[in-house]
């Protein structure tokens, strides 16, 4: 997780002797790699996976969203579990559940079973992800903590950047079933991390027991699950029932969300501190986060389907689409953070969101043409997207942290992390309906295929050309909506974040302004 997991870790002494701290760091890096690589490589593998399992577009959405749903709904409760039961114990439990579910995913014979196992994997991740940074913060004394977190962040950025590239190469080199290795590789990595923690790291005592707010977690899961189901069902041919039923399910989700908010407002130890949303800058930063990460998640989920199933690129080439994003954030977050410290977060967030919007607008224009150049078209726009996100990530964290009191920074960052993940969940669910409608309207159904699936038989050239064009049109709609969302994020940041303080002129000893 991010700094949100640091709330409550105010102990002045570390439970971990110096000789064991490097094992904590290695275990945390391995656990982070499991979560980062899993999501990005799965996006590249989705066309191959769908072809191998015969998964529909709706099932593809839920293969992604089942994980995102349980992770986003439970991540705040997962962070509290470390405080309640001890960080090492909770961290090991999260990793163990994650890798057990990963093996089940690797062996899943059908798409529905894969969806179920992905949901369980998300529960493990909800405990594992916040634990990776929290245990570093608790194991290292303050004087060494910054360096350790810097190593963790650099290693995480490296695995995030290289994971999709290496995964794409593997997927291109072997048969259709090799997508299962994405999940199977979690077993040796996770098992080694667990061994390090149990054999080399002493147990820590619970910091200060916190309630897990299981009622709030259940309400959040039900609310976001119903909303995502209602939106996703609209992607299915024929609406997966009637449109009115889907709308009703979505409205039930909204009602459950209202109940969740009432529950949190009255709970003694709430999962989400709603009081923080009374702060305009905090609410504005979270609104900008939602719009921006909605757009980013939508493009990164549907773009690989366009490239592989629509344009016929290899998974090896498509794997490079994530590289500029990870590299730019890794290289530029430090300088951008220092710029944000000097000028305030408003300008970097606004400018970065606008730049990402321009990149997505470029993808929308490109997808509507017959030009299918990856290295000369898509990749430069991905570099622009990476630049924009690098301008946003660090200042956005700064905006969240500086908008609240010091005692609330952990809770504030945790909420922002959850908002970003919920935005991704809603994006994949909502825009699937758009993709399905546009693809059908553009004549893609004439080939007997859905958006984003590799044809399993030879298609007549005219039908295949129509399928390719319809795939481009469908993604064009996604990219255009995403661009608008980015521009809304830029406007929101500009209107809600405080302007930088105006330097006051120095006075001369006699009281007159200095020139």
Q: For residue range 87-138, list pLDDT tens digits in order.
A: 899 999 999 999 999 999 999 999 999 999 999 999 999 889 888 878 887 8
- How far is residue 118 CA from its own chain's centroid? 15
Neighbour tally for 342: CB within 10 Å: 7
Contact call for residues 204 and 138 (beta carbons, < 8 A): yes
pLDDT of residue 483: 98
> For 392, what's the count of Cα atoms within 13 Å in the CB-facing half-sphere?
31
pLDDT of residue 443: 84
C-alpha to C-alpha distance for 418 and 248, rounded to whole angstroms: 25
| Alpha carbon separation from 238 to 244, 245, 246, 437, 448 (Å, rounded) | 12, 12, 11, 11, 15
pLDDT of residue 507: 57
Roughly how many angstroms between the first and final C-alpha of the chain, as a whole number?
Answer: 48
| Alpha carbon separation from 333 to 3, 120, 153, 398 (Å, rounded) | 15, 33, 11, 12
C-alpha to C-alpha distance for 223 and 230, rounded to whole angstroms: 11
pLDDT of residue 13: 63
pLDDT of residue 194: 96
Low-confidence ranges of the chain (pLDDT < 70): 1-13, 175-176, 207-211, 235-241, 406, 410, 447-448, 501-515
pLDDT of residue 8: 40
pLDDT of residue 239: 45
C-alpha to C-alpha distance for 350 and 191, rounded to whole angstroms: 42
| Contacting residues for 441 by C-beta, under 8 A, at least 6 apart | none
Contact call for residues 104 and 184 (beta carbons, < 8 A): no
* Token pair in block for residue 506: 């120095």
* Token pair in block for residue 345: 């977060």
Contact call for residues 426 and 294 (beta carbons, < 8 A): yes
| Alpha carbon separation from 418 to 72, 115, 291, 333, 414 (Å, rounded) | 5, 21, 13, 21, 6
pLDDT of residue 6: 42
Q: At which residue do the structure tokens 């997966």 appear?
A: 240
Task: State the virtual CA torsion across 105, 107, 108, 114 in degrees, nearest 10.
Answer: 10
What does pTM read for this prediction? 0.85
């Amino acid at each position: 997780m991010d700094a949100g997991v640091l709330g409550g870790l105010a102990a002045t002494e570390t439970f971990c002797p110096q000789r064991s701290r490097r094992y904590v760091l290695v275990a945390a890096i391995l656990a982070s790699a499991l979560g980062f690589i899993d999501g990005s490589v799965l996006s590249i593998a989705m066309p191959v996976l769908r072809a191998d399992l015969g998964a529909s577009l709706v099932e593809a959405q839920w293969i992604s969203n089942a994980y995102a749903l349980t992770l986003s709904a439970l991540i705040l409760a997962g962070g509290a579990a470390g405080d309640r039961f001890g960080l090492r114990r909770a961290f090991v439990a999260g990793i163990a559940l994650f890798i057990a579910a990963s093996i089940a995913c690797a062996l899943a014979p059908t798409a529905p079973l894969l969806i179920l196992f992905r949901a369980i994997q998300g529960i493990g991740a909800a405990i594992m992800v916040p634990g990776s940074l929290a245990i570093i913060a608790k194991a290292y004394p303050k004087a060494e903590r910054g360096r350790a977190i810097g190593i963790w962040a650099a290693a995480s950025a490296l695995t995030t950047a290289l994971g999709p590239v290496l995964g794409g190469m593997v997927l291109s080199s072997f048969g259709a079933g090799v997508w299962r290795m994405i999940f199977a590789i979690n077993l040796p990595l996770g098992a080694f991390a667990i061994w390090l923690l149990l054999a080399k790291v002493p147990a820590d005592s619970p910091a200060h027991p916190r309630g897990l707010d299981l009622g709030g977690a259940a309400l959040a899961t039900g609310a976001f699950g119903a909303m995502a189901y209602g939106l996703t069902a609209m992607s299915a041919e024929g609406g997966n029932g009637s449109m009115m039923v889907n709308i009703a399910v979505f409205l039930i989700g909204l009602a459950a969300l209202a109940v969740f908010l009432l529950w949190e407002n009255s709970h003694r130890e709430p999962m989400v501190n709603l009081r923080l949303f009374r702060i305009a800058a905090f609410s504005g930063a979270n609104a900008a986060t939602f719009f921006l990460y909605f757009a980013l998640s939508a493009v990164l989920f549907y773009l690989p389907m366009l490239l592989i199933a629509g344009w016929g690129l290899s998974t090896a080439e498509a794997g490079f689409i994530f590289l500029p994003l990870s590299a730019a954030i890794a290289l530029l977050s430090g300088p951008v953070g220092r710029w944000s410290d000097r000028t305030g977060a408003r300008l970097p967030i606004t400018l970065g969101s606008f730049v990402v919007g321009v990149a997505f607008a470029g993808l929308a224009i490109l997808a509507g043409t017959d030009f299918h150049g990856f290295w000369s078209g898509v990749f430069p726009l991905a570099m622009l997207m990476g630049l924009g996100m690098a301008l946003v990530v660090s200042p956005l964290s700064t905006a969240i942290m500086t908008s609240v009191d010091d005692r609330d920074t952990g809770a504030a960052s945790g909420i922002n992390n959850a908002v970003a993940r919920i935005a991704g969940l809603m994006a994949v669910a909502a825009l699937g309906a758009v993709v399905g409608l546009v693809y059908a309207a553009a004549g893609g159904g004439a080939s007997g295929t859905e958006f984003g699936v590799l044809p399993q038989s030879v298609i007549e050239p005219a039908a295949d050309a129509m399928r390719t064009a319809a795939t481009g049109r469908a993604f064009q709609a996604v990219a255009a909506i995403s661009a608008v969302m980015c521009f809304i994020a830029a406007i929101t940041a500009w209107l809600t974040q405080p302007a930088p303080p105006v330097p006051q002129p120095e006075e001369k000893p006699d009281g007159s302004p200095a020139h």
